[in-house]
Amino acid sequence: MRADGAVEAVFRIEQARIIAAVARVVRDVGIAEELAQDALVAALEQWPESGVPDNPGAWLMATARRRAIDLVRRRETYARKLAEVGRTLEDTGPPPEPADPDDIDDDLLRLVFVSCHPVLSTEARVALTLRLLGGLTTDEIARAFLVPEATVAQRIVRAKRALAKAGVPFEVPYGAERDARLASVLEVIYLVFNEGYAATAGDDLLRPGLCEDALRLARVLSGLMPKEPEVHALAALLELQASRTATRTAPDGTPVLLADQNRARWDRLLIRRGVDALTRASALGGVPGPYALEAAIAACHAGAPTYEDTDWATIAALYGRLAALTPSPVVELNRAVAVSMAEGPAAGLALVDALAAGPGGAALKGYHLLPSVRGDLLERLGRTREARAEFVRAAGLTRNERERALLEERAARL
């Protein structure tokens, strides 16, 4: 591999850890990212002549840390800042790498919580997390979410400024604050995965790159927080959902419904990983949280050899528990689908109509899956004219071209 190619590959892998370690020194995520980029530039200048180091990641880390400490030295008196940072500087050469890798992991965990701080909007948290922890460029994030690159760049810049202005400490919170902040972290990872798993807009149903980024972040977080059951539960959910990715679309990109997917092509390794993660979450005890319940539902699907063999009664019961824990019209809609499979389409339609007539109906007014589900239930009941109208309405609500084509095809078929 050419030196510049090695630099880019190593930096993409090590970027999050480098930024995290440097941010602990300078206490500013924006400056930490700039210093990490400085280390990248230094490598691009030196490696073509000196050769790629035996441990390129350590070289980048040491270079970035040295520049961070030089910056601190310029800002404060040498002795005072040495005491604050708590390390001895050598005047010759970069500082040595820490022997304990857990030290870096602690830094990475701090970076996770800072990137998902509640002072930021949800869009800013997502963009900053993908930038700092996912290693994506601004252009890659923009293309993934189908927004202008300038919009993403502004979100990231404003997020860094907001963190600096709020004086957000570079630390892992504890107690009640940690629980609240962890919920934000898990939400961001889940949002990233869902946007990749079922894109809200655009020409493609799937954006596998986003699914992979979210899954990688979930795995990292479960390694950093091994005693948090919902962290393992989220990892389990994403592993199980990702196991079906290859079968969710036909070769031409057309969506394939769950009932029609080739289960022999489901990724058994991801399913095993998901079940193992769910087992770890359960072993930690406590009342199952929302991600644990969703992972249990995904496990029911993964364990069924055919669509007809799915334990729909258990899935409906799990959705009932999920609705009691986190009330949501979307959860109620999913429960109605499960009830229709367990008890018949008439029972499911009654739940959907009750949902549409209540407060949840207003919340789902622009949600294309409400008429889509209703159309499916009406078709199963033989009420084809009504079903066709619902599919047409659903097609008009979705912003995803692949889903629109599928709904229009179902309407035309009726």
Instruction: Dump the DSSP string for 265-323.
Output: GS-HHHHHHHHHHHHHHHHT-SS--HHHHHHHHHHHHHH-SSSTT--HHHHHHHHHHHH
Given CA atoms 177, 182, 188, 194 in this order, what sign does their dihedral have? Answer: negative
Q: How far is CA 352 from CA 257, 356, 358, in A?
A: 20, 6, 10
Residue 48 and residue 3 in contact, taking contact as beta carbons nearer than 8 Å: yes
Residue 210 and residue 142 in contact, taking contact as beta carbons nearer than 8 Å: no
- Please calculate the CA angle 122-193-149 and round it to the nearest 5 degrees: 60
Q: Tell me how far apart the alpha carbons of residues 295 and 310 are, in angstroms, rounded to a whole number.
A: 15
pLDDT for the residue 227? 93
Quick one: residue 287, left, alpha or beta (phi over 0 = left, psi -120 to 50 = alpha)?
A: beta
Note the pLDDT tens digit of each residue in 59-97: 888 888 888 888 877 766 544 545 555 544 444 344 444
With a cut of 80, say whether residue 1 has pLDDT above it. no
Note the pLDDT tens digit of each residue in 252-294: 888 888 999 999 999 999 999 999 999 999 999 989 999 999 9
Average pLDDT, the chain: 86
**pLDDT bucket at 106, cuts 50 / 70 / 90:** confident
Tell how far CA 340 is from the center of its chain: 30
Query: At 167, phi and psi to the nearest 5?
Result: 60, 40
Taking the model in full, what pTM does it have? 0.76
Site of tokens 């689908």: 337
β partners of residue 255: 249
Count of other CB atoms within 10 angstroms of residue 69: 21
Residues 6+ apart with CB under 8 A from 61: 14, 17, 18, 21, 39, 97
pLDDT for the residue 67? 87
With a cut of 80, say whether residue 198 has pLDDT above it. no
With a cut of 90, say whether residue 157 has pLDDT above it. yes
Q: Which of 197-206, 286-295, 335-344 has the lowest mean pLDDT?
A: 197-206
Task: Enter the tokens of residue 202.
Answer: 């655009």
Residues 6+ apart with CB under 8 A from 281: 229, 230, 232, 233, 236, 288, 292, 295
* Per-range mean pLDDT, top range of 127-131, 157-161, 203-207: 157-161
- Please calculate the CA angle 5-24-158 and round it to the nearest 5 degrees: 75
What is the β-pairing status of strands 201-202 and 399-400? parallel
- Please calculate the CA angle 102-193-9 and round it to the nearest 5 degrees: 55
Collect contacts of 248-257 with beta carbons under 8 A, ≥24 apart. 248/205, 248/206, 249/205, 249/206, 249/402, 253/203, 253/204, 253/205, 253/402, 254/402, 254/405, 254/406, 255/205, 255/402, 255/403, 255/406
pLDDT for the residue 206? 63
pLDDT for the residue 3? 62
**Buried/exposed 143-152: b ≥16 CB within 10 Å, e otherwise:** bbbeeeeeeb
Whose CA is closest to 32, among 4, 5, 59, 72? 72
User: What value does the mean pLDDT take over residues 294-300?
Assistant: 97
User: What value does the mean pLDDT take over residues 314-331?
Assistant: 95
Q: Which of 10-24, 183-197, 346-360 has the lowest mean pLDDT?
A: 10-24
Task: Enter the tokens of residue 25.
Answer: 């020194």
pLDDT for the residue 69? 85
pLDDT for the residue 86? 55
Residue 230 and residue 182 in contact, taking contact as beta carbons nearer than 8 Å: yes
User: What value does the mean pLDDT take over residues 353-365?
Assistant: 89
Query: What burial class does residue 90 get, using C-beta atoms within 10 Å of its C-beta: 0-12 exposed, 13-18 middle, 19+ buried?
Result: exposed
Note the pLDDT tens digit of each residue in 201-254: 565 666 777 888 889 889 989 998 999 999 999 999 999 999 999 998 888 888
* Per-range mean pLDDT, top range of 24-33, 185-194, 299-308: 299-308
Residue 385 and residue 368 in contact, taking contact as beta carbons nearer than 8 Å: no
Task: Enter the tokens of residue 176.
Answer: 């009640």
pLDDT for the residue 94? 41
Task: Select the more confidently predicted residue: 284 or 106.
Answer: 284
Whose CA is closest to 394, among 358, 376, 367? 367
Cα dihedral 72→78→79→85 (10° resolution): 20
pLDDT for the residue 313? 97
Q: What is the DSSP letter of 96?
A: P
